[in-house]
């Protein structure tokens, strides 16, 4: 009887040991998968050639719920619309400088908004030049590809063009990237770049005075 109990105890310990090894292996695998999805520190990139981050580095990047709705604002050809569309631009006009060498990059979402402003301008101009038409064609194709890239499948009401938006709006919530954080990050980057330029100018000015 004692021998049987010992055997059961030994067998149970063996099973528990195997389960423990399997659990450890699973946890290690999960840790590696999570670690592989985390963005590398910005300092780990040389910012030369193709060695740069795929996306704009942002602190506390997250998703937000954004109501997408029709509006009487952002029209094509009135004074208020000119200012409204202008305010979609970011500090630095969509460009950022990254790394110790201050490499120059454009940010996709701001490129999209630039294209929106250019398309609005194209609708206002009656006789566009070939260069303007080429820019407009670029923007249309760019927006087409990015719409396919996001492939947002959120369902929306189908009667949006039959409504008076001064009296009635429709609104559908979409899961979006935190665009206010993008604007804030780009503003901070622009201020840092301005500080670098000021420092360079001071160094050049100081060298000139020394001479």
Distances 64 to 69, 174, 176, 179 between C-alpha atoms, Å: 16, 8, 5, 9
For residue range 178-209, what is the model confidence (pLDDT) as tens digits? Answer: 999 999 999 999 999 999 999 888 888 765 45
Which segments within 35-146 are labelled E, that is strand? Answer: 63-69, 95-98, 103-106
pTM, rounded to two decimals: 0.73
In DSSP terms, 104 is beta-bridged to: 97
Residue 75, domain extent: 62-151+170-206
Angle at 189 between CA 205 and CA 183, to 5 degrees: 145
For residue range 94-142, what is the model confidence (pLDDT) as tens digits? Answer: 899 999 999 999 999 999 999 999 999 888 888 888 999 999 999 999 9
User: Do 87 and 132 belong together in one domain?
Assistant: yes
Pick the range with the lowest mean pLDDT from 4-8, 58-62, 159-163, 164-168: 4-8
Q: How much is the pLDDT for 205?
A: 75
- Counting the structural domains of the chain, the total is 2
Q: How much is the pLDDT for 72?
A: 82
In DSSP terms, 63 is beta-bridged to: 177
User: Do 197 and 134 belong together in one domain?
Assistant: yes
User: Do 104 and 145 belong together in one domain?
Assistant: yes
């Amino acid at each position: 009887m004692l021998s049987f109990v010992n055997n059961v105890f030994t067998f149970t310990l063996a099973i528990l040991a195997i389960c423990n090894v399997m659990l450890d292996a699973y946890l290690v695998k999960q840790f590696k998968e999570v670690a592989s999805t985390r963005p590398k520190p910005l300092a780990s990139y040389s910012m030369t050639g193709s060695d740069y981050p795929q996306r704009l580095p942002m602190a506390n990047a997250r998703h937000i719920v954004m109501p997408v709705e029709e509006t009487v604002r952002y029209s094509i050809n009135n004074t208020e619309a000119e200012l409204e569309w202008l305010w979609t631009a970011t500090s630095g006009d969509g460009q950022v400088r990254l790394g110790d060498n201050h490499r120059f990059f454009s940010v996709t979402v701001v490129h999209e908004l630039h294209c929106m402003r250019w398309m609005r301008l194209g609708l206002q101009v009656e006789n566009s030049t070939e260069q303007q038409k080429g820019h407009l064609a670029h923007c249309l194709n760019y927006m087409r590809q990015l719409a396919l890239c996001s492939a947002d499948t959120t369902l929306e009401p189908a009667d949006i063009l039959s409504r008076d938006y001064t009296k009635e709006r429709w609104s559908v919530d979409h899961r979006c990237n935190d665009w206010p954080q993008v604007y804030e990050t780009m503003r901070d980057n622009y201020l840092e770049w301005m500080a670098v330029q000021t420092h360079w100018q001071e160094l050049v000015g100081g060298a000139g005075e020394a001479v």
